[in-house]
Amino acid sequence: MLVYDPDPVINDRIRRAVRYGQTRWAEIWLSLIAVGVGLVLVAPTNTFSNESFRVIASVISEWKAGALCLFFDSVRLIALWVNGRRGRETSLIRTLGCLAGFVF
């Protein structure tokens, strides 16, 4: 039987979450979709030329929006990978995430 955590209470909670499909696949797919949106925005097309995007286009250019999507979701994918590989030892990542959230 696979042991996720040495603490039996936490191990049982993780086992139930995994059994019911509550994993990070949704977060990974959403990050990949956002990277795809960023790639579309960075591409040399006029995505914001449609009338429905006039408010967004007045705030930020397509290239900047695409670059922000690519940057932040690439960082998110790296954080998901590190968190998945290191398990519960990610106090540095959690601290950086807390500080970044505070700054935001």
Domain-embedded: residue 76? yes
Residue 44 lies in a domain: yes
Domains of the chain: total = 1
pTM: 0.58
Identify whether 8 is part of a domain: no
The answer to whether residue 11 sits within a structural domain is no
35: in domain: yes
What φ, ψ does residue 80 adopt, rounded to 5°?
A: -65, -40
CB distance 66 to 46 below 8 Å: no
pLDDT on residue 86: 59
Type of residue at 86: R
Cα(43)–Cα(40) distance, integer angstroms: 5
pLDDT for residue 56:
84
Number of CB atoms found within 10 A of residue 35's CB: 19
pLDDT tens, per residue, the chain with 104 residues? 677 778 888 888 888 777 655 567 778 888 889 999 898 888 888 888 888 888 888 888 888 888 999 999 988 888 887 776 655 566 777 787 788 888 87
The whole-number pLDDT of residue 19 equals: 67
- Domain of residue 90: give its range: 23-103
- What distance in Å separates the CA atoms of residue 91 and residue 12, rounded to the nearest whole number? 22
